[in-house]
Structure 1
Amino acid sequence: MTCGGLDQPGNTSKVRLILRACLVRQLGLYYVSDIGD
């Protein structure tokens, strides 16, 4: 995952939101690249 560095103690809701968005984007890219194969 390229979303590292955000999972630090004392996460704020904003950081969690960014982390989730990053994860969703990565899954989306993986899905798209899998489809286009």
Structure 2
Amino acid sequence: MEFVVAVVVVVVVVVVVSGGERCSANSVVLCCFLLLVGL
């Protein structure tokens, strides 16, 4: 689980930095998806 959380954090940071606030919603959805897959 710790590895999954680390990956999610990295993905969110990259998406927010590269895409800005408009991609924040997509990153949240991606986080939820990855967390569900991890569980």
* TM-score after normalising by structure 2: 0.53
2:17 is matched by which residue type in structure 1? Q
Task: Determine which of 19, 24, 33 is the counterpart of 1:25.
Answer: 33
TM-score normalised by length of structure 1: 0.54
Structure 1: stretches of 5+ with no match in the other structure: 32-37
* Structure number with higher helix proportion: 2
RMSD of equivalent CA atoms: 2.5
Q: What CA deviation, in whole Å up to 9, does each residue of 1:6-25 have, x standing for no partner?
A: 1217722x301111011001
Aligned positions, number: 30
4+ residue segments displaced more than 3 Å: none
